Amino acid sequence: MALDFELTRRGILTAGAAASAATALPAHAEEKPISAEPLPSKRAKALDLEMSYVEIGEGDPILFLHGNPTSSYLWRNIMPYAAPFGRCIAPDLIGMGGSDKRPLVEGEDPDARYRFFEHQKYLDALLENLGVTENVTLVIHDWGSALGFDWARRNEDKVKGICFMEGFTRPFSYSEMDWFPWAMFKSFKSGLGEWMVLEQNMFVEQVLPASVLRELTQEEMGYYQAPYVNAGEDRRPTLTWPREVPFDGEPAETHEMVVRLSEWLQSNNLPKLFVNAEPGALIQGEVRDFVRTWKNQEEITVRGIHFIQEDSPHEIGAALEKWIPKVNS
């Protein structure tokens, strides 16, 4: 077990370092400081739990959705760019950020609390409670992209546009992966995953910082670590998410969901802004080529591996400043 963990740790750091070395362009158009200060949060009821969220601005909703293992904190430097154009809302998904952890029911599979459709159920309830029901613009990332794309698919007539980055766009296959992500996901989906994530907090302590080009400050890491300080079940969301990633048709429910999304994304005509990451992680190579076939889409490129909001927040924000008014017109 110790050997497996060491190989995993080394692989993540090596992959991150290689990507950093390979990425000299595109450079930041204008260097601006990246703030570590979180935006003020609120709480609201979602079914039997309370969820935390950030809200700034007024007008039609602009919904920011995060993925694993982050929170609304990921959007802190980007939301102010969009706030003049609408009511910007960034929830923390259940069990993540400042939102409640879902209690474990006796005899229940621990992962059942944080599977995709469980997150979707609570997110739908929160959005209904907050009045996010029409004229919605989505800004989405990672698992937040799957949740956001599927909300848009189910509510197409209520959506004004979708900005997406490093998201879920088509089904995955182990045969398409390099050795390191192959080994990492195989481990997460095995019994080793509990030790790697629930005990070692691997997604927060290693995957997150290794997927950012710059070095996150101690203060920034502190905000990401805060929901997962306690080893064990408090960290369960960050383990269930990689287990939900569909490879070669399994798990069947999330595979079928991604297939539906992929088909819908190829056919709908909603305005889209694709924030391409260089070098990127989820969207590169053939996947990037596939995404570029979608209709009614603009594209920008920014520096970053996966958590590109931590490397290029001002470039993403400036793009939203230009794109949202066009969607609103």
Condensed to tens digits (0 to 9), the pLDDT of residues 161-183 reads 999 999 999 999 999 888 888 99
Q: Annotated catalytic residue: which of 55, 150, 166, 278?
A: 166
User: What is the model's pTM?
Assistant: 0.92
Identify whether 313 is preceded by a cis peptide bond (ω within 30 of 0). no
Q: What percentage of the chain carries pLDDT values higher than 90?
A: 88
Return the SS3 of 41.
strand
92 is catalytic: no
Q: Annotated catalytic residue: which of 119, 141, 255, 306?
A: 306
- Residue 248 structure tokens: 């070669």
pLDDT at 198 over 90: yes
The pLDDT value recorded for residue 10 is: 39
The pLDDT value recorded for residue 322 is: 98
The pLDDT value recorded for residue 181 is: 87
Give which of 134, 49, 137 is closest to 89, Cα–Cα.
Answer: 137
pLDDT mean across residues, the chain: 92
Mean per-residue pLDDT, 144-171: 97
Domains and CATH numbers, the chain: 2-328 (3.40.50.1820)
pLDDT digits (tens, 9 = 90+) for 17-33: 444 434 334 444 457 99
pLDDT at 60 over 80: yes
Return d(Cα 275, Cα 75) in angstroms, integer. Answer: 14
The pLDDT value recorded for residue 66 is: 98
Q: Which DSSP string corresponds to 293-312?
A: TSSSEEEEEEEESS-GGGT-
**pLDDT band for position 2 (50/70/90)?**
very low
Q: Annotated catalytic residue: which of 55, 142, 310, 315?
A: 142
pLDDT digits (tens, 9 = 90+) for 210-253: 999 999 999 999 999 999 999 999 999 999 999 999 999 999 99
199 is catalytic: no
166 is catalytic: yes
Strands 87-91, 49-56: pairing is antiparallel
The pLDDT value recorded for residue 9 is: 35
